[in-house]
Amino acid sequence: MSGCAVVGVGTEDRGDDAIGALVADRVRELGAAGVTVEPVATPLELLDVFDRYDSVVVVDAVRSGAEPGAVTVSVLNESPSPARRPSAGTHGLGVPEAVELARALDRLPARLVLVGVELADVTTGADLTEAVAGAVDRAASEVLRAAEAR
Amino acid sequence: MTHKSTGDRILTVDTLARVEGEGSMRVQVRAGTVTDVELAIYEPPRFFEALLRGRSYLEPPDITARICGICPVAYQMSACQALEAACEVTVPEDIRLLRRLLYCGEWIESHALHVYLLHAPDFLGYESAIDLARDHREVVEQGLRLKKAGNTIMSVVGGRSIHPVNVRVGGFYRTPSRDELSMLLPVLTEALADAVATVKLVSGFDFPDFEQPYEYVSLRSAYEEEYPLESGSLVSTGGLSFTAAEFDDYITEEHVARSNALHARLRGVDAYVVGPLARYALNADRLGPVARAAAADAGLGPVCRNPFRSIVVRAVEIVYACEEALRIVQGWHGAAVPAVPVPPRAGVGHGVTEAPRGVCYHRYELDAEGTVLDARIVPPTSQNQRSIEADLLRFVQARLHLDDHQLTHDCEQAIRNYDPCISCATHFLDLTVERS
């Protein structure tokens, strides 16, 4: 286990839900040393990433009531995920469930940070809203800051 | 949410937990008798059938894979089979076996997810897999290992672990080398041991004493040694026997006002059940030796009519999928070609395969250029929906003495017996979009 992994979670063609993957793509373009962008097909695969890195930054669309496009940073390995509600994904287990499952199995990385981008619309087939699309660079900066703070 | 008054009772669950997709349930009790059960689905309906019209015949495997993140292979396999049938093409045996291997990966992944993370917590008295993991770490780790083995097959054969990108009409874009498939051997050997342990674990659970006189429907493979997966014709415990091309003659779907999902009826029978219990009842003789021994050790007879014990049958099917995947990998010598040409042809084709949750039917009508003129998709969950409601009606009647919290929990467990994939079940036959 070493280095820092960045994981963008989300689905294309579901409006703002794609933001996680877009931010991860931007981080890859920026190419910071010691930072690896890891793809996951489902949130449950986060556990395999947790096994391989000391530090993991997860980027995902979040819904907290803040202004669309607002970027929030939460350290998850110290306290339970702020989001714990019935799955928002159609596959039964979303990011909060995967993180809590990893915690229960003692498989969390030494440092786990969630960079959340407040979403506005996740309509099937829709593009990102302007507010969320405009958050890519800010979110990518927060990801790199979180990655370097390890 | 519960409302209670003398003799009358309405039990509602607004968001069903630990099922795929989103749905809700409403049970109505009048003067001590259960008068109505509704399983309602409110996820936005899926418009795939309408979306497919006007598309190239090469597109449905990739488009329909998006209906479900848990069983994309089922959609790809049924779509390929139907489109190849319409074009009168049969794929070579090595391609058929590779498809079967990919399907084994999906069964292992989907069944392991359901058995360990969605259903086992019910039997062991936990609210979720997370709570279960706190007390029984090894149990959950075993399930995650199995699920990962399924993912690995999907990645090696399908190109990635969900929504595989390597499947095409006529075969695959690229076939794995013998060396690449050999890398699966240690993974599958460990998975087989985990799967046998899974059967042992779940067969020790306590099951409610509950049986139903289901009519079971599943595929029966034309290959004598094979449990049904990627091909076959349909059979039922009542003695019906029909081909994919005759599906429409035997099974009708109707829209029910309260739900976006369609409810299916079997001709002359009405409600019926597809999925693990049905496959097992109609194909137990086709299980491999390890799966057959595991089923016997678990005390499964030739037919299981207790839906709560479906978790045991699902576990036996994981054993089979591991055994079968090993058999295919060990015998693999490479494919002569990754795919065969499938020139378009005007016609109608039908495809039917065994998704983890049961029979998945596709029908496509093509013109001479290969444009899709019409598409029909019948997923397993819509076929089981009437039986789920019938189970709930009887199950609740016998448990009216329980308090609402316990009764609600038990009802949810009864629904989870079917591993319902509600995302798959919601689709419309006809869609008119009026634009101003």
CATH of the domain at B299: 1.10.645.10
Per-position DSSP letters for B364-430, written without gaps between them: EEE-TT-BEEEEEEE-HHHHHHHHHHHHHHHHHHTTTTS-HHHHHHHHHHHHHTT--BHHHHBB-S-
Predicted pLDDT at B328: 97
Give the other-Cβ count within 10 Å of A126's Cβ: 14
Tally of residues, chain B: 436
Q: Are residues B263 and B150 in the same domain?
A: yes
B408 inside 8 A of chain A by CB? no
Most confident of A106-115, B253-262, B389-398: A106-115
Instruction: Give the number of A-B residue pairs with CB atoms closer than 8 Å.
Output: 56
Q: Are residues B361 and B399 in the same domain?
A: no
Q: Are residues B392 and B326 in the same domain?
A: no
Is residue B13 very low, low, confident or very high in pLDDT (cuts 50, 70, 90)?
A: low
Minimal Cβ distance to A93: which of B15, B117, B131: B117
Radius of gyration for chain A, computed over Cα atoms and rounded to the nearest angstrom? 14
Pick the more confident residue, B21 or B168: B168
Q: Round to whole Å and give the CA distance between B378 and B274.
A: 12
Q: Round to whole Å and give the CA distance between B74 and B235.
A: 19
Q: What is the complex's ipTM, to 2 decimals?
A: 0.84
Q: Pick from B142, B57, B159: which is nearest to B108 by CA?
A: B142
Minimal Cβ distance to A104: which of B18, B70, B133: B133
Print the domain residue range for B270. 48-387+420-425
A91/B20 Cβ within 8 A = yes
> Which positions in chain A touch B133 (Cβ < 8 Å)?
101, 104-105
| B242 contact partners, CB below 8 Å, separation of at least 6 | B233, B234, B249, B250
Tokens of residue A112, six digits: 């786990």
**Position B355 pLDDT exceeds 80:** yes
Predicted pLDDT at B327: 97
Q: How far is A99 from chain B (nearest CA, A)?
A: 9
Q: Judge whether B150 and B105 are in contact, CB under 8 Å.
A: yes
Beta bridge partners of B28: B10, B36
A92/B133 Cβ within 8 A = no
Q: How far is B161 from chain A (nearest CA, A)?
A: 7
**A48-52, A73-77, B72-76, B307-311: range with lowest mean pLDDT:** A73-77
Q: Judge whether B32 and B401 are in contact, CB under 8 Å.
A: no
End-to-end CA distance of chain B: 41
- The whole-chain average pLDDT of chain B stands at 88
**Position B404 pLDDT exceeds 90:** no
**A118-122, B56-60, B156-160, B390-394: range with lowest mean pLDDT:** A118-122
Q: Are residues B313 and B337 in the same domain?
A: yes
Residue of B nearest to A85 (CA): B17
Minimal Cβ distance to B69: which of A87, A91, A97: A91
> Which positions in chain B touch A44 (Cβ < 8 Å)?
113, 144, 147
Is residue B24 very low, low, confident or very high in pLDDT (cuts 50, 70, 90)?
A: confident
Predicted pLDDT at B152: 94
Q: How far is B181 from chain A (nearest CA, A)?
A: 21
> Which positions in chain A touch B117 (Cβ < 8 Å)?
92-93
Q: Taking chain A (150 residues) in consecutive chunks of 10 residues, what is each chunk's mean pLDDT?
A: 86 82 93 88 89 94 87 84 46 79 94 91 80 90 86
Identify whether B432 is part of a domain. no
Q: Round to whole Å and give the CA distance between A8 and A21.
A: 4
**Position B19 pLDDT exceeds 90:** no
**A131-145, B245-259, B303-317: range with lowest mean pLDDT:** B245-259
B141/A92 Cβ within 8 A = no
Residue of B nearest to A40 (CA): B161
Which residue numbers of A have CB closer than 8 Å to B's CBs?
41-42, 44-45, 47-48, 86-87, 90-93, 97, 100-101, 104-106, 124
Q: Are residues B201 and B310 in the same domain?
A: yes
A44/B140 Cβ within 8 A = no
Query: What is the H or E stretch that residue A35 is in?
Result: strand A35-37
Predicted pLDDT at B261: 65
Predicted pLDDT at B79: 97
**Position B340 pLDDT exceeds 50:** yes
**A19-28, B35-44, B140-149, B303-312: range with lowest mean pLDDT:** B35-44
| B188 contact partners, CB below 8 Å, separation of at least 6 | B149, B153, B322, B325, B326, B329
Is residue B1 very low, low, confident or very high in pLDDT (cuts 50, 70, 90)?
A: very low
Averaged pLDDT, B89-116: 96
**Dmax of chain A from CA atoms?**
39
Residue written as token pair 């419309």: B428
Predicted pLDDT at B41: 60
Q: Are residues B58 and B68 in the same domain?
A: yes
Q: Are residues B412 and B317 in the same domain?
A: no
Q: How far is B134 from chain A (nearest CA, A)?
A: 5
Q: Are residues B382 and B404 in the same domain?
A: no
> Which positions in chain A touch B147 (Cβ < 8 Å)?
44
Residue of A nearest to B45 (CA): A124
Predicted pLDDT at B435: 24
Query: What is the H or E stretch that residue B355 is in?
Result: strand B347-355
Torsion of CA B358, B334, B94, B74, to 10 degrees: 20
Averaged pLDDT, B292-305: 97
Query: What is the H or E stretch that residue A4 is in?
Result: strand A4-8
Q: Where are the alpha helices (DSSP H) in A53-121?
A: 95-104
Q: Are residues B238 and B277 in the same domain?
A: yes
B140 inside 8 A of chain A by CB? yes
B118/A100 Cβ within 8 A = no
Selected residue of A91, A108, A122, A124 to mutate for chain B interface (largest B Cβ count, 10 A): A91
Dihedral angle sign, alpha carbons of residues B396, B398, B404, B410: negative
Q: What are the structural domain ranges in chain A?
A: 16-143
Q: Which of residues 86-125 of B touch A (CB under 8 A)?
A: 113, 117-118
Selected residue of B42, B122, B130 to mutate for chain A interface (largest A Cβ count, 10 A): B130
Beta bridge partners of B241: B235
Identify whether B434 is part of a domain. no
B51 inside 8 A of chain A by CB? no
Q: Are residues B21 and B63 in the same domain?
A: no
**Position B151 pLDDT exceeds 90:** yes
Tokens of residue B222, six digits: 């034309």
**DSSP conformational letter for B87:** T
Predicted pLDDT at A89: 38
Tokens of residue B337, six digits: 């070609």
Q: Judge whether A5 and A38 are in contact, CB under 8 Å.
A: yes
Tokens of residue B166, six digits: 């390597």
Q: How far is B70 from chain A (nearest CA, A)?
A: 7
pLDDT digits (tens, 9 = 90+) for B181-239: 999 999 999 999 999 999 999 999 999 999 999 999 999 999 999 999 999 999 999 99
Q: Are residues B32 and B54 in the same domain?
A: no
Residue of B nearest to A13 (CA): B66
How many domains, in total, are found in chain B?
A: 2
Q: How far is A106 from chain B (nearest CA, A)?
A: 9
A86/B17 Cβ within 8 A = yes
Q: Are residues B20 and B106 in the same domain?
A: no
> Which positions in chain B touch A87 (Cβ < 8 Å)?
17
User: At residue A56, what are phi and psi to the nearest 5 degrees?
Assistant: -135, 135
Predicted pLDDT at A14: 77
B147/A44 Cβ within 8 A = yes
What is the topology classification, in CATH, of domain A16-143? Answer: Rossmann fold (3.40.50)
Dihedral angle sign, alpha carbons of residues B110, B116, B118, B122: positive
- Give residue B21's region: left, alpha or beta (phi > 0; psi -120 to 50): left
| Percent with pLDDT over 90 in chain B | 64
Residue of A nearest to B154 (CA): A41
Q: Round to whole Å and give the CA distance between B289 and B279.
A: 17
